[in-house]
Structures are given as structure tokens and as C-alpha cells.
């Protein structure tokens, strides 16, 4: 996905960033109730949605209608916007449900701080290419994953960054991190630094094939967890509030970052240029560049909401 971000980053050879926008609704266009009902039925069929009873269906329909009205209003007034909204897979969720279920970045109130070390790539300022896409380098970016209804984006962001260092094309186990990182909250959210520290202390992380993802937090399988497919020896922070440092880091490797994903709920394509600072979702930066169509600078992110969302956002 191509995304314009305002960077505030904490990485390890890996970690953090920020983006956000709030949704507001001014004059709602008229939408025919029968047409909305038909759209909802079509959307249900397309996404395989079923409801436990009529009350639940009605509640979801009302949320769907509110979202549709917001989409119509946004797109009809998006004169200076470079992205569009549509009835995507999240169209029957409230903002609160979406953030609670499909994000999961939780930064501790008093985060640990590493001993200050020089920025690893500081001497490369004159060597940074104008465009970078790690997807074009074999083995660096693995296939897009789907966290589904488990708020463990932090785990997928972390393994994406480690995969980008190992560069052998092996998908690493997000489930191992969900189960075994005791100072995170599994599907209830977590922080990537805790994941990196676990990988170091455990002397590695196993492959996804050996410890597959199952969408819920379980008991840590310590036997499997010891059969490592990749190891790291440390991580560092990217200096904050300066995108030039982030660009230097991403020019050398994928970077684990936190963003404000609130405007992603109904996103359907283009460049999301609305930025904010309420970090709630973790992804992996896998490149950057400048849009030939819009002339806008952007960051490429690898998300964890499945292939269908990723294709829509590319």
C-alpha cells in the first residue's frame, strides 16, 4: 500500500511512526432506503456474512447505512483528496469496533528505553535513493498475512521487520509472539519492542510453518519455540520527528512502525494523506517514493489485514 505518513519513529533496526485522521460528517446526501438494503444484501453475499438473529442483522444494517452515508459524503466532497472510500470488508463496523478488533498497538505508559547509541545509518545521508521498494528484492518481504479478529498487529509488524533482515523468504511465526511474549497482551494488543526483546532472549523465532497462526492467544509451546528459524542480536531506535532518518533506515531495511490507522476503516485506494499522532496500529514499512500521478511523497506499508485489503490499497 502507498501511504503518506508523518513520521515519528521508534525502530530496531526496527520500530515506530504516526498517522491519523478523524472522520466528520457535514451535510448528508439523500440515499434511498431500498437501495441501501439491496447494497447491504449484496455486501453480505460478497463477504459471506451471516447473523445470529434479525436483531443483529438490523443493528449491522444501521451501522452499514451510517458508513455508506459517510462514504457518499466524503467521495462527493473529496476535491482535494488523493484517496477514496468504499464499502470494503469493514463496512458494518463502528469506528470503535474496528479499532478494538483490527489494530492492537499498545505502547506502555512508561516504555523501556535503550542505552543511547548512534543512529546506524547516519553517515549515509548522501547515499539514500529517492525511491525504494523492498518487495522487488527476492526474499525480503514475505506474503501478506491476516490477523483477522485478533489485535496482534504488533506481532505481524515485528516478524515483518525481522524477515526483512534475514531475507531468506521464510515467513516467521506471529503466533509464537502472541503466545509467548508475556509482557504483551496477545490479541489484546502489544508493543513491538517487547517482541524484539523476546526474540533476543529466546535466541530466535520459529517459522510460521512450525508454529502456525490460529487467531487466538494460547499457551506458549516452548518446545516448538526453541527451534529457531531466525535470530537477532539487538534493535535500535530511529531518531524521532525527522523523516530523513526514517528514509535512511528504510533504504537499508524494512522497519517496524506504529501508525494512526483510524482512516483506514473504509479506505479503498489512492494516497491517504491525512496524518495524526494517536498511534493505534503496527505495520512494516517496506519502501517509499513519490507518486507520478499526484506528486506526493509516500511510504509503502505491509499491513496484516489480508490479501484482499492489500490489493485494494496498492
Residue 217, pLDDT score: 96
Return the pLDDT at 314.
52
Clarify whether residues 206 and 168 are in a common domain.
yes
The answer to whether position 59 is within a domain reads: yes
Buried residues in 156-189 as b, exposed as e (16+ CB within 10 A): bbbbbbbbbbbbeeebbbbbbbbbbbeebbbbeb
Q: Are residues 168 and 59 in the same domain?
A: no
- Statement to judge: residues 65 and 150 lie in one domain: no
Can you give the pTM of this predicted structure? 0.85
Paired strand residues for 190:
105
Determine, yes or no, domain membership for 308. Answer: no
Q: Report pLDDT for 113.
A: 55
Q: Are strands 2-3 and 83-85 parallel, antiparallel or unpaired?
A: unpaired
Q: Is 188 helix (H, G, I), strand (E, B) or coil?
A: helix
Q: Enumerate residue ranges in the chain where pLDDT < 70.
A: 1-31, 109-116, 271-275, 310-314
Residues 57 and 159 in one domain: no
Please report whether residue 196 resides in a domain. yes
Does residue 68 share a domain with residue 188? Answer: no
* In-domain check, residue 14: no
C-alpha to C-alpha distances, 58 to 40, 49, 52, 55, nearest whole angstrom: 11, 13, 11, 5
What pLDDT shows up at residue 225? 80
Residue 28 lies in a domain: no
Do 173 and 298 reside in the same domain of the chain? yes
Same domain as 59, residue 117: no
- pLDDT, residue 274, reads 64
Closest CA to 261 of 244, 240, 242, 276: 276
Q: What is the pLDDT of residue 291?
A: 84
Q: What are phi and psi of 22, to 5 degrees?
A: -100, 150
Asked if 105 and 189 count as a contact pair (C-beta separation under 8 A), the reply is yes
CATH classification at residue 129: 3.90.70.10
Looking only at the bridges linking them, the beta strands covering 281-290 and 297-302 are antiparallel
Burial of 34 (0-12, 13-18, 19+ CB in 10 A): exposed
Into how many domains does the chain fold?
Answer: 2
Q: What are residue 287's phi and psi, to 5 degrees?
A: 165, -175
107 is a domain residue: yes
Residues 67 and 113 occupy one common structural domain: no
Task: Identify whether 137 is part of a domain.
Answer: yes
Claim to verify: residue 131 and residue 273 sit in the same structural domain: yes
- Kindly state whether residues 135 and 281 are assigned to the same domain: yes
The domain of 290 spans: 99-302
Q: Is 195 a member of any domain?
A: yes
Q: Which residues are catalytic?
A: 153, 281, 303
128 is written with which cell numbers? 539514500
Q: Are residues 110 and 232 in the same domain?
A: yes
Residues 106 and 68 occupy one common structural domain: no
Amino acid at each position: 500500500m502507498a501511504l503518506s505518513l508523518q513520521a515519528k519513529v521508534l525502530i530496531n533496526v526496527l520500530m515506530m511512526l504516526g498517522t491519523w485522521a478523524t472522520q466528520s460528517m457535514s451535510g448528508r446526501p439523500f440515499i434511498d432506503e431500498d437501495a441501501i438494503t439491496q447494497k447491504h444484501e449484496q455486501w453480505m453475499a460478497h463477504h459471506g456474512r451471516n447473523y445470529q438473529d434479525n436483531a443483529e442483522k438490523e443493528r449491522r444494517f444501521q451501522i452499514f447505512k451510517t458508513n455508506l452515508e459517510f462514504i457518499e459524503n466524503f467521495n462527493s466532497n473529496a476535491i482535494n483528496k488523493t484517496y477514496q472510500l468504499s464499502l470494503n470488508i469493514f463496512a458494518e463496523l463502528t469506528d470503535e469496533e474496528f479499532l478494538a478488533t483490527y489494530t492492537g498497538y499498545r505502547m506502555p505508559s512508561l516504555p523501556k528505553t535503550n542505552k543511547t547509541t548512534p543512529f546506524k545509518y547516519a553517515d549515509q545521508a548522501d547515499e539514500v535513493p529517492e525511491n525504494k521498494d523492498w518487495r522487488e528484492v527476492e526474499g525480503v518481504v514475505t506474503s501478506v498475512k491476516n490477523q483477522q479478529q485478533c489485535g496482534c498487529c504488533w506481532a505481524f509488524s515485528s516478524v515483518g521487520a525481522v524477515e526483512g533482515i534475514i531475507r531468506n523468504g521464510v515467513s516467521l511465526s506471529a503466533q509464537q509472539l502472541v503466545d509467548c511474549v508475556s509482557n504483551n497482551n496477545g490479541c489484546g494488543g502489544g508493543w513491538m519492542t517487547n517482541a524484539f526483546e523476546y526474540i533476543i532472549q529466546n535466541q530466535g523465532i520459529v517459522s510460521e510453518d512450525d508454529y502456525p497462526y490460529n487467531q487466538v492467544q494460547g499457551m506458549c509451546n516452548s518446545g516448538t519455540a526453541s527451534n529457531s528459524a531466525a535470530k537477532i542480536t539487538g534493535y535500535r531506535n530511529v531518531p524521532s520527528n525527522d523523516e530523513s532518518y526514517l528514509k535512511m533506515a528504510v533504504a537499508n531495511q524494512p522497519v517496524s512502525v506504529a501508525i494512526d490507522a483510524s482512516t483506514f476503516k473504509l479506505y479503498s485506494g489512492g494516497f491517504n494523506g491525512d496524518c495524526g499522532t494517536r498511534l493505534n496500529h503496527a505495520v512494516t514499512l517496506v519502501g517509499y517514493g513519490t507518486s507520478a500521478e499526484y506528486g506526493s511523497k509516500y511510504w509503502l506499508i505491509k499491513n496484516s489485514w489480508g490479501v484482499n485489503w492489500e490489493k485494494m490499497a496498492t
